[in-house]
Homo-oligomer: A and B are copies of this chain.
Amino acid sequence: MPVTIPDEILERMAEKFRTLGDPTRLAILRALLGGEKSVGVVVAETGQNQANVSKHLKLLAEAGMVRRRKEGLQVFYVVADPLVESLCELVCGTILREAEADVERGRKIMKSWGRRG
């Protein structure tokens, strides 16, 4: 018989996906996957408002995806959950494959203009 997943687990799964479901947060995580960075650097690399970056970083920290370290005036963040990289790689790979398929379809459509039919 099928195993029913309790609501609480589904909610926790959904929360992780939801946390990754925003392009700005993905950009921030992408920056942080390159190593620990200060908020200022992340702001520069993402081109986003500092207040906004700060809020997203807080959200990511609360979700346990990122770790915070204060040093003088600056605050540094790193990716703390290996899941982030796995999930992003999987999804990004899929999208690139989809894009390649689109290109291929396009190629065929282009070709079809060159022959009768």
> Smallest distance from the beta carbon of A62 to chain B beta carbons, Å?
15
CB-CB < 8 A to A25: which residues of B? 14
Q: With A10-B23, A94-B83 known to touch, is A30 a contact of B5 (CB < 8 Å)?
A: yes
Contact B17 A20, beta carbon cutoff 8 Å: yes
Contact B10 A14, beta carbon cutoff 8 Å: no
CB-CB < 8 A to A20: which residues of B? 13-14, 17, 21
Q: Which of B5, B13, B21, B83 contacts A14 (CB 8 A)?
A: B21
CB-CB < 8 A to A10: which residues of B? 23, 26-27, 30
26 pairs, CB–CB < 8 Å, chain A vs chain B? A2-B31, A5-B30, A9-B95, A10-B30, A12-B95, A13-B23, A13-B88, A13-B92, A13-B95, A14-B21, A14-B22, A14-B26, A16-B94, A16-B95, A17-B18, A17-B20, A17-B21, A17-B87, A17-B91, A18-B21, A81-B94, A83-B91, A86-B90, A87-B90, A87-B91, A90-B90
- By a beta-carbon cutoff of 8 Å, the part of chain A in contact with chain B is 2, 5, 7, 9-23, 25-27, 30-31, 34, 81, 83, 86-88, 90-92, 94-96
